[in-house]
């Protein structure tokens, strides 16, 4: 195990990017505006389709758009992967920067935001000083629209204007928080051997005024609740986010996205070997994309008889006045800490998406469970807006718009099981007159109908809007 920086060391990371003043992001060939779903879609171009650039030094590459007759540099990063498919994560006790080679390989990814793509440049034209520029075409499979960016190679590392910070990750003892264009959040901090261990779980979240929020914390906390039964139900162990040990073990901060790998496991009695949770999170602009792997060990003496787990978010008193919607309840429910008759009749069929929205801001998400989970089990979506119903640990007693996804599984055999989560905090989504369904569907298309990438006849799907495994086990 390599140690490349420890968490909780007073480190403040400011991500610096190329900055030449604000780039236009209007509709059409200039990229979608904030009221369109594609505005929020990141793009990753695999080195596999960038054949002419393979083997180039990463420090000699840059990404450009072509607008109104000239090239402009774009915000980008290049994520290196090992040949086996693990991301190179540069910080944390299990970081692996020594496994990167600093050159563009087939498995590496050039990452930028779709909204920064623009017009097609004349054939053979390249940014000044570049010895090669490779055109990357992005096609919208829904509208048929097309835009382009150019990945350019230079003889030496290019000078890309002055640098300006766009994201800040603060890791300072008892503080681990993130700042993005539309929101910020503080993470829950666990303790191990009297040392603070940051997790990826949300403790506080606020939507910025620029994004249509009021800057006040709308979350009680992100909650995990459940119970695991062993040995035919003789031993039953409750599960929540505070009695689960572990946390963030490796991460990479970048100007476009932050990659975080966490390892967590419940503390079980009698030295029973329970499941281990690997949580891989990609945080990019307004999106949070998470894959949780539940790794159930093979141990005949401790086979899981039954497991009940729920993953959800409870809101704070500041969220009162917002409204909850999901794919089943399109009329929505007022969030006020009191259950009315329609809320008590909540349909617990697993939803396709859910959201909360109001003058405080908007948060959209969906969760997908590995079908293997459901071979001998079932999934549900639950909702409680009863301030008298307490579920400790919590920052504010009682349920306020508490929504969760729940699975009940019997006789879970050894193996790895995936849970995928998509979250978005968009700009100005809220409408007092009701749910903005068209805008919502456009945002969900980031995951369901991603942009199509083509480079010199080679095609690749855009996977940047989907969660993924960052570290192969």
For 29, the domain range is 19-161+451-461
So what's the pLDDT on residue 170? 75
So what's the pLDDT on residue 273? 63
Indicate whether 437 and 396 sit together in one domain.
Answer: yes
Indicate whether 94 and 182 sit together in one domain.
Answer: no
Q: Which residues in 169-199 are b (16+ Cβ under 10 Å) and which e?
A: bbbeeeebbbebebbbbbbbbbeeeeebbbb
Residue segments in the chain with a per-residue pLDDT below the cut of 50: 1-6, 8-19, 21-29, 162-166, 300-301
Q: Cα separation of 414 and 160, whole Å?
A: 51
Note whether residue 407 is domain-resident. yes
φ, ψ of residue 293 to 5 degrees: the values are -105, 120
Note whether residue 198 is domain-resident. yes
Indicate whether 399 and 457 sit together in one domain.
Answer: no
So what's the pLDDT on residue 66? 97
**How many structural domains are present in the chain?**
2
What is the per-residue DSSP string for 160-213? -BEEEEEEEEEEETTEEEEE-SSEEEEEEEEEETTEEEEEEEEEEEEE-GGGT-
Residue located via tokens 């840059």: 62
Looking up residue 218, the CATH number of its domain turns out to be 2.70.98
Indicate whether 157 and 303 sit together in one domain.
Answer: no
> CA of 11: how far to CAs of 6, 255, 287, 443, in Å?
9, 17, 24, 34
Note whether residue 202 is domain-resident. yes
Indicate whether 244 and 141 sit together in one domain.
Answer: no
Reference 335, options 316, 311, 363, 351; nearest CA is 316
Collapsing DSSP to helix, strand or coil, 270 comes out as helix
Note whether residue 36 is domain-resident. yes
Indicate whether 365 and 457 sit together in one domain.
Answer: no
Collapsing DSSP to helix, strand or coil, 343 comes out as helix
Reference 364, options 396, 324, 320; nearest CA is 324
Indicate whether 103 and 153 sit together in one domain.
Answer: yes
DSSP character at residue 49: G
So what's the pLDDT on residue 103? 98
Indicate whether 224 and 273 sit together in one domain.
Answer: yes
Phi-psi region of 105 (alpha: psi -120 to 50; beta: other; left: phi over 0): beta
Indicate whether 212 and 148 sit together in one domain.
Answer: no
| 345, 377 Cβ separation under 8 angstroms | no
| 343, 335 Cβ separation under 8 angstroms | no
So what's the pLDDT on residue 410? 82
Indicate whether 294 and 364 sit together in one domain.
Answer: yes
Indicate whether 193 and 253 sit together in one domain.
Answer: yes
| The model's pTM | 0.92
What is the per-residue DSSP string for 204-231? EEEE-GGGT--SSB-EEEEEEEEEEEEG
Indicate whether 260 and 144 sit together in one domain.
Answer: no
So what's the pLDDT on residue 376? 84
Note whether residue 469 is domain-resident. no
């Amino acid at each position: 195990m390599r140690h490349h920086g420890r968490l909780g060391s007073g480190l403040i990371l400011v991500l610096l990017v190329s900055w030449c003043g604000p780039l236009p992001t209007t509709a059409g060939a200039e990229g979608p505006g904030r009221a369109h779903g594609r505005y929020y879609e990141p793009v990753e171009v695999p080195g596999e389709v960038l054949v002419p650039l393979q083997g180039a030094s990463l420090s000699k590459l840059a990404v450009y758009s072509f607008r109104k007759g000239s090239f402009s540099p774009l915000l980008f990063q290049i994520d290196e992967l090992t040949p086996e498919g693990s991301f190179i994560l540069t910080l944390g006790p299990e970081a692996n920067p020594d496994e990167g080679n600093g050159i563009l390989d087939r498995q590496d990814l050039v990452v930028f935001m779709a909204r920064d793509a623009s017009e097609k440049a004349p054939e053979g034209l390249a940014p000044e000083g570049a010895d090669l520029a490779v055109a990357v075409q992005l096609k919208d499979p829904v509208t048929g629209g097309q835009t382009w960016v150019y990945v350019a190679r230079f003889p030496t590392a290019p000078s890309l204007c002055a640098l300006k910070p766009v994201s800040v990750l603060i890791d300072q003892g008892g503080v681990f928080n993130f700042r993005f264009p539309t929101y910020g959040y503080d993470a829950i901090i666990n303790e191990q051997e009297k040392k603070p261990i940051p997790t990826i779980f949300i403790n506080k979240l606020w939507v910025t005024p620029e994004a249509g929020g009021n800057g006040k914390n709308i979350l009680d906390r992100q909650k995990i609740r459940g119970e695991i039964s062993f040995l035919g139900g003789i031993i039953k162990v409750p599960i929540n986010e505070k009695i689960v040990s572990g946390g963030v073990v490796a991460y990479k901060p970048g100007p476009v996205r932050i990659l975080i790998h966490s390892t967590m496991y419940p503390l079980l009695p009698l030295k029973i070997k329970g499941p281990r949770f690997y949580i891989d999170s990609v945080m990019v602009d307004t999106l949070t994309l998470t894959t949780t792997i539940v790794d159930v060990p093979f141990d005949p003496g401790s086979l899981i008889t039954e497991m009940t787990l729920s993953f959800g978010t409870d809101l704070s008193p500041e969220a009162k006045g917002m409204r909850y919607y999901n794919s089943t309840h399109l009329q929505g429910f007022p969030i006020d800490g009191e259950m009315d008759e329609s809320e008590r009749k909540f349909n617990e069929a697993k939803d396709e998406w859910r959201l909360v929205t109001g003058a405080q801001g908007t948060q959209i998400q969906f969760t997908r469970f590995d079908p293997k989970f459901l071979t001998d089990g079932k999934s549900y979506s639950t909702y409680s807006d009863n301030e008298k119903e307490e579920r400790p640990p919590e920052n504010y007693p009682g349920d306020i718009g508490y929504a969760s996804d729940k699975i009940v599984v019997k006789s879970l055999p050894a193996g790895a099981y995936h849970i995928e989560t998509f979250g978005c905090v968009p700009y100005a989504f809220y409408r007092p007159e009701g749910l903005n369904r068209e805008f919502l569907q456009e945002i969900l298309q980031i995951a369901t109908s991603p942009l199509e990438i083509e480079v010199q006849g080679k095609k690749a799907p855009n996977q940047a809007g989907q969660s993924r495994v960052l570290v192969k086990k």
